[in-house]
Structure 1
């Protein structure tokens, strides 16, 4: 055998090795070769094809369009659908020059998505590029969050208060059922009534009215709150028509009440539940001299009475340490309907103060100048005292009987003569009691019953009675004095005086 060179030996070994590997591979003893694959699958995309503002094709399946969007055309709904993520897109697809493309990056943090708009002569292609594929866990989490959001979304849709969202361009992108029940232009009118919308992180609330479009119904009133959000502005409307109507009725009532009390001479001060002056009339200014500006500033009840004290329109308190306690007691008594007092002022005037409770914890004070009334009462009392003094100094005993024969009043001589105390028994003394007293003082068994019957009939009586046992004489007169009242006069003459009188008249 010829000797083999090293080269030939190496070639033979290499061939044998290749042949062995081929046999092993054919026998399936070697693993399949690893095919190269990318680290990640291709990023997902969605395509939308528009002809003008009309969507003619897309591969988004049932995810779009949003049926709750009330926009006028497909392009507007598309813009609203993407607004929260890509900001404001062109309002008119024709504004993009044919052959040009626009790219919009997501405005959300940590979101690599982008939107590409490619215009041609007849159409506009919109391609939504996600920044990377979503792993199953991400997809699951997204679906879980959507499910969690379904509950508050359903509650928001069913909320009785209208809620709607305007996109950054001012177009409506969402509304709940209550907002959808409004007339078609109501949302626009209410949104415009707020004027400039708030800036980011700002919220504004304003009371607005919504007139009826046909003018057949009264205005509706709302507290409208608007807040800035990433997609635009959210509006929350609370119907306060009933509240405004109640406030209007209350204001009209207060005005009517004010006009009613404006011409009355009685001063009126009404304090609300918080003890602030809620209503007063001009007479209060006239009676107290308090400045109108002070009263219009709605002072509290303590400041009001402090001013009255400083102006000497109420008596000086005897104990300044208990002043506030006295005022609080006064207000409490007035709320219970129990307060009434008369103030005698240093000026000689007299005020009657009455406290009365009002609804909802309010309290009213009435100020009346009763100076004339008090003066007349004093004059009348003085006249009565004078008249009483005059009849008390008459020699005759005089009494006045009412139509039902009760003793109305008598002079001192009458009480002394018959032993009657008019101060203690005036109201209970009747004609029979008077006759009994006369019988006891001047015994005449047959005379007094006859006189009682005559006086009881109201007939005039004028008798001179000679008393038994030398008791002298008694002049008795009974005469009417008007309004069914009668006067009984008794004049006793002792025996010596009676004889002298007899001689003079004899």
Structure 2
């Protein structure tokens, strides 16, 4: 073998390196069967196998509804369980013929799930496709949402008010503990009492009674509210038995008051806090002449007083523009317990109107016919004026004292004779003031202290006082009138004495 030179060895090494690089480059272009690609997880599915209406197998685990569901059979429970997502599923599984396949897409937004029903000769297979990968994040989010839903669900179950939900077909699909405590047919009777159920986005409330099943207890009353929701109709029952009993007791009490006030001669009109007539008695009709039908229609305050004005049972307002504000002021005054007025009518009658506040913002008006009282007061006043006119025209100065020696009344001559004004200080004028005035007017007589003692002891007195400088004589008389009252009379006889003297001298 010939010896290789160094140049030949270098050329051989360079060629081997080029061949190796070419093999490595080509190997990178060829597929590598030893490197497997990761497969996407299959979409989750659940299978349910029915024979007729009976579930014979499934792989849903503990998620299958338990026996507390109100449905009668397994297929009905299955429909109730899935109905909110897939609409109205077939009511009778026997109606699906062998070999037929039905597919239902979810009715919820952003929900790719679907339900497939495949019927064979002896069974029906239902397959629930969730339509997405069952990744850990999705499973975690689903469990989180279930946990969040458990809180309001527990609160609804523990609520003291009965709550239940009827599905689209009218069957009960859920109820809380309070509703479950009702007798078996109570939910159906209460639901049927509402009549036609409301349309979507509509809510209706109605008060209904629930008779006792045995008839031994009184009826229970509920304010039943129903609202339309996606799964059906939700019912909310609020027990108002105590409220109905209180309202009934109040009506009985009002009727009792009405019978009590029926015989009163005073007209009564009670307005509630809404200013509507809540109670009246027959005397109000007799005094005002308002029709019973008008009063029974519960008019408001304005209509009531407008009717009184039209019937001329109250004075015509001078300024009708301010009439309504005056009525409001009158009602406000009555609510404060401050309103009282007398109405003089064109018929000659006089009514006294009194406003009184009542609890809870109500107000009552009392109408009294005081025509006789006013007439007697006028007659009495006329008699007093006549008596005063008579004693004012007497020649004698007369005063009457009370048992405690206060001046009760006197005539004009008494004030003129003694120079006092009893009208300005009648209540403050006493016996000592009268005696002092007599001494100041007639100082020449020493009889005044004796007069004070006689009046104090109640003894009668009759004396004549001769006045100085030809002023004539003054007759003084004290007469007890009984019950401690006394009369004092002073009569000046100067003119009388002069006439007698002229008659004697002729």
Does the pair score TM above 0.5? yes
Sort the TM-score into its range (normalised by shorter chain): 0.7 to 0.9
The structure-2 alpha-carbon separation of the partners of 1:12 and 1:81, relative to structure 1 and needing over 3 Å to count, comes to: farther
Corresponding position: 1:478 with 2:470: no
The structure-2 alpha-carbon separation of the partners of 1:289 and 1:379, relative to structure 1 and needing over 3 Å to count, comes to: same
Q: Give the conservation status (yes or no) of the 8 Å contact 1:443–1:468.
A: no
The structure-2 alpha-carbon separation of the partners of 1:180 and 1:483, relative to structure 1 and needing over 3 Å to count, comes to: farther
Shift of 1:151: 4.0
Q: Give the conservation status (yes or no) of the 8 Å contact 1:24–1:30.
A: no
- The range that moved more, 311-320 or 209-218, is 209-218
Separation (CA, whole Å) in 1 of partners of 2:474 and 2:275: 71
Q: Give the conservation status (yes or no) of the 8 Å contact 2:41–2:134.
A: no
Shift of 1:290: 3.1
Q: Give the conservation status (yes or no) of the 8 Å contact 1:473–1:498.
A: no
Shift of 1:359: 3.1
Shift of 1:361: 3.3
Shift of 1:399: 1.8
Q: TM-score under structure 1 normalisation? A: 0.77
The structure-2 alpha-carbon separation of the partners of 1:97 and 1:496, relative to structure 1 and needing over 3 Å to count, comes to: closer
Shift of 1:64: 1.6
Shift of 1:404: 1.0
* Aligned residues between the structures: 506
Separation (CA, whole Å) in 2 of partners of 1:11 and 1:285: 139
The structure-2 alpha-carbon separation of the partners of 1:4 and 1:102, relative to structure 1 and needing over 3 Å to count, comes to: farther
The structure-2 alpha-carbon separation of the partners of 1:281 and 1:148, relative to structure 1 and needing over 3 Å to count, comes to: same
Shift of 1:428: 1.2
Shift of 1:429: 1.4
Shift of 1:156: 3.2
The structure-2 alpha-carbon separation of the partners of 1:126 and 1:393, relative to structure 1 and needing over 3 Å to count, comes to: same
The structure-2 alpha-carbon separation of the partners of 1:138 and 1:358, relative to structure 1 and needing over 3 Å to count, comes to: same
Corresponding position: 1:405 with 2:405: yes
- The range that moved more, 435-444 or 344-353, is 435-444
Corresponding position: 1:144 with 2:169: no
The structure-2 alpha-carbon separation of the partners of 1:24 and 1:392, relative to structure 1 and needing over 3 Å to count, comes to: closer
Shift of 1:430: 1.4
Separation (CA, whole Å) in 1 of partners of 2:134 and 2:345: 91
Shift of 1:448: 2.4
Q: Give the conservation status (yes or no) of the 8 Å contact 1:473–1:495.
A: no
Alpha-carbon displacement from aligned partner over 1:106-132 (angstroms, at most 9, x marks no partner): 666787867677899998776656677
The structure-2 alpha-carbon separation of the partners of 1:337 and 1:482, relative to structure 1 and needing over 3 Å to count, comes to: same
- The range that moved more, 269-278 or 136-145, is 136-145
- The range that moved more, 120-129 or 82-91, is 120-129
- The residue aligned with 2:304 is 304
Separation (CA, whole Å) in 2 of partners of 1:460 and 1:162: 94
Separation (CA, whole Å) in 2 of partners of 1:220 and 1:282: 36
Separation (CA, whole Å) in 2 of partners of 1:214 and 1:157: 27
Shift of 1:348: 2.0
Alpha-carbon displacement from aligned partner over 1:177-220 (angstroms, at most 9, x marks no partner): 44344455443332233234345554322111234455565543
The structure-2 alpha-carbon separation of the partners of 1:283 and 1:23, relative to structure 1 and needing over 3 Å to count, comes to: same
Q: Give the conservation status (yes or no) of the 8 Å contact 2:268–2:280.
A: yes
Separation (CA, whole Å) in 2 of partners of 1:159 and 1:217: 24
The structure-2 alpha-carbon separation of the partners of 1:413 and 1:39, relative to structure 1 and needing over 3 Å to count, comes to: same
